[in-house]
Chain A
Amino acid sequence: MKTLIARLSLALLLLAGPAAAQEEVSWDQYLDYAYVFSSADSGALKARLDQYARDAGAPLDKHIAQRLMPLASQNGPEPEERVRRRAIAHLLLYLQNGSGDELEQSVEAANQLKPYLGRHENKYWHHYVLAHDALERGRPYDFVGHVLDLWIGAVVPLETPYETLKALSLSEAPNSGFASSLPFLYENVARLVLIKSQQMGIDRGLDPLGAIVRLLADKRVGAHPDVIPLAASSLEYLERIVERLDGPKSDAGSLTFTLALFEASKLHDNARGSLATEGLSDATIKAIRVAGAAYRTAEDRADTTSGEAAVQTRVLRQLGEIYAAKQRLKVDPEIETPFTIEDAILVYMKLADAEVDGSWMELGFKDRDGYVAAMRGLWEDIQEATLNAGDYYLSRGVEMPHLSDDYSRNAARLYSRYLGLFQKYALTESAAGVPDSAYFAAHEAARGVGDAFLLYAQHPTPEEVELGIRRYRSALRVFPFDRTLWSALTAALEKQGRESDYMALVRPAAEAATRSRVVNRWVAAGEPEAERLAALQRAFSDSLAVMYLGFAESSGVGELERGLSALRAEKAGVEQKVAKLRRQLGNKAGPGPASMDDDSPRRSGGGALDAAEMAEAQRELTEASALLERLDQQIEARSRTIPIYVATLKSDGMGAEMRARRDHPLHGMLRRMYHEDRVSDDAPEE
């Protein structure tokens, strides 16, 4: 933003040159055209005034002393243009060096213009100077008054003449008068209200100027690219402000609030940049603190819940960034922020509760779309900040095992808070203020509780273990398509010696996913990820594949395939044994009693099987045949199931993709799936 403002100032300054160059070089002429360059920042303005001083052969202060000093009263009334130029000259020096004395003299001259305010040019400079004086004195009421007077007295009367001149291609004619300055007046007012007022720390009472800002953005600033090129205009900045002023992130159209929030956002960007380049250095922590204080100021300026929600949304983003950075950088510096996730949840509840009694319009929203967008935006940031903070606590538990129980409980509290919010407001599929991505976040939070107690905590209580298992089950019901969760559940059960509970726990989730009409329609229509979902659905419908999902993760596919090969080898061995036994028994018992002529070879050891041997061989054959049958079944089952299980591996990463993209198409499907045939027992509960 600083770059943008600097670029605008510089570009505007460059426009001053050609206009003045057509005239004979004189300070008076530069002063008459000062509306072109008076909005530049102090550094650029100084450079320009130095250049003009060289052109005119004297610095401006000397010119004032020589040519523009007030006349003694006995010399008669002072010419109005001389008074005006003096006011402008002192103002330029004030803007260049910040001297209060220069401003005072400018104000004195501007007040001397009062008898001549019938002239638009005088009126413009009179109010322009006094508006700067009001800024310097920190008087927003006076500042607003002067800007409104400037508009009504100098801008409005020039608009029709300017359009007329323009229609006749005379707007740039040398004698077109002050009317031709109109595009510059628009720019100057825009900069005065949007930039200068903020530089001077005016953070209240600016709201009536919201109208002027809207007017400026409505085909005024940027509408004359032949006079002020778009690159040199403040249009982009102005449009961003107006977009916020009228959008859902507004405080019922308050300009004061919009500018305060914009300022805080800039400071947030600075902190973000510092975080990216320096990590959590002292400078970054200071930048975070400054941004937090600016957000607090913005929140103080908010009169409506709409405004509070706009602040909370951004603050949560910063909170999420801090937790993510702490986790990534593995440091835990002391960072103070005036906001918490709980604050944001309270604001969300105010918004959501207004839906019930239909009072949402009283919260500062212009339309229902804006209201819904604000609620959803706030929800999404609550969920992101919650998940980031939870992840941070779990990772801290890994780094500091002696504190892992504490950290796990912290994480579980955060996740549970989110689940509580989810349960309260995601009551129906059409709950307007709940975004689609909330459902996947509920899955993540439920899983987070399970992970916290069953994976990360070293000494969970039996109640915590029970809650963890219930949450895993809830996570499976909300989003069964995360393959890793199934094996996480078995690992947790194994830790508690409850592996045998696995099928009973997961069957409802597997069956729900298999019979889901929403998922079936999604797959049949070939919607995004249909192939991966179909592979998982096939696995859920096969109990052996479900077992694989739970227990095969640690052994891996290679092990499974080796196991299958071993079964096949075993089968081959058993087949040989069966064949051999059959031959033996067949030779003996085949055609009936052996004839005298039978000279077929005898078994080694001599002679035919006796009755005991026959019985033994028969028993072995029965056993081998039964084994063979079992092996056939196992091989058949594994041959069928392993490919089904292997196909599910392709779904890996789907969860990560959904977490990364709030607009992932599966979020919507998940929402519909959650609400179809939902039984309250299966919902995440706290």
Chain B
Amino acid sequence: MTRTTLFALALALFVGGCASDGPSPSLDLDAEVPKDVNTPLGGVTLSQRRLELVRAHADMVHFMATLDSLQLRRDQNGQVLFKGFVDEYLGTHVDPMLATEMHSKQPELSGLDATIRFLEAEMLTKLRSPARAQTTVDELERLYKGREDMLVDWPIGKKTTLKKAMDLLEDRKWRG
């Protein structure tokens, strides 16, 4: 039987590629992959993006519950293991997903995108990574400037305006 894991990845790239009418791929093999410049307005690409964001958001909510639980019970070994896991999840999965500005410009995705960024900043604070948390906050401020009244699902289980969420996050950051 032929193993074609790459097929799936290629297919995913293909689907993504279909939605983008950006410049032709460079022949320079070492060139950085360009960020999305076009915003999908519907179809598979948009629903796929939304699905990914929804799943990442749900996963991060579960991670937060476990982090809180481990901290409450002062489980040092568990925290070491789990913080490493979350750190890797954010670095390898969430950050690449948020590397595009496209989500913040798409009305169907911007709420989720902002919410995930808040969650990530909160998690990074819990992981004792203040510099990375600040980077996430700076990015939030840059992307959502002028939209302070937009509602986000943060803190978990509540809806707050982006401005209030930012104030809360700042407060939590200092409190650790």
Residues of A whose CB lies within 8 Å of any CB of B are 23, 29, 32, 81, 119-121, 141, 144-145, 148, 151-152, 156, 158-165, 167-168, 170, 174-179, 205, 207-208, 210-211, 214-215, 218-219, 246, 251-254, 303-304, 364
Contacts and interface: CB of A to CB of B under 8 A. Distances in A.
Contacts of A178: 3, 5
Given A207-B66, A207-B75, 20 more contacts: A32-B1, A120-B5, A121-B5, A141-B81, A148-B85, A159-B55, A163-B51, A164-B12, A165-B11, A170-B11, A207-B69, A207-B70, A208-B70, A211-B82, A214-B62, A214-B65, A219-B58, A246-B65, A303-B72, A364-B72
Nearest to B75: A207
A253 B68 contact: yes
B77 A205 contact: yes
Contact of A161 (B8, B47, B72): B8
B155 interface: no
19 contacts: A119-B5, A145-B81, A148-B82, A148-B84, A161-B11, A162-B8, A164-B48, A165-B11, A170-B11, A205-B78, A207-B69, A207-B70, A207-B73, A210-B65, A210-B66, A214-B66, A253-B68, A253-B69, A303-B73
Interface string B39-77: 000001001100110010011001101101110111101
Nearest to A171: B8
Nearest to B71: A252
A252 B81 contact: no
A164 B11 contact: yes
A152 B73 contact: no
B99 interface: no
Given A160-B12, A162-B8, A164-B15, A254 B73 contact: yes
Contacts of B88: 152
Contacts of A167: 44, 47-48
A252 B71 CA distance: 10
A252 B5 contact: no
A163 B48 contact: yes
Interface majority SS on B: helix, strand, loop or mixed?
helix
Nearest to B84: A148
Interface of B: 1-9, 11-12, 15, 44, 47-48, 51-52, 55, 58-59, 62-63, 65-66, 68-70, 72-75, 77-78, 81-82, 84-85, 88-89, 92-93
A110 B92 CA distance: 24
A164 B52 CA distance: 11
Contacts of B11: 161, 164-165, 168, 170
Contact of A254 (B15, B69, B93): B69
Nearest to A364: B72
B48 A160 contact: yes
A72 to B, nearest CB: 26
Nearest to A142: B81
B3 to A, nearest CB: 6
A179 B65 CA distance: 28
Contacts of B47: 167
A248 to B, nearest CB: 14
Given A179-B8, A304-B73, A156 B81 contact: no
A161 B48 contact: no
Contacts of B5: 119-121, 177-179
A144 B81 contact: yes
Given A163-B51, A252-B73, A215 B1 contact: no
Nearest to A362: B72
A369 B130 CA distance: 34
A164 B8 contact: yes
A253 B81 contact: no
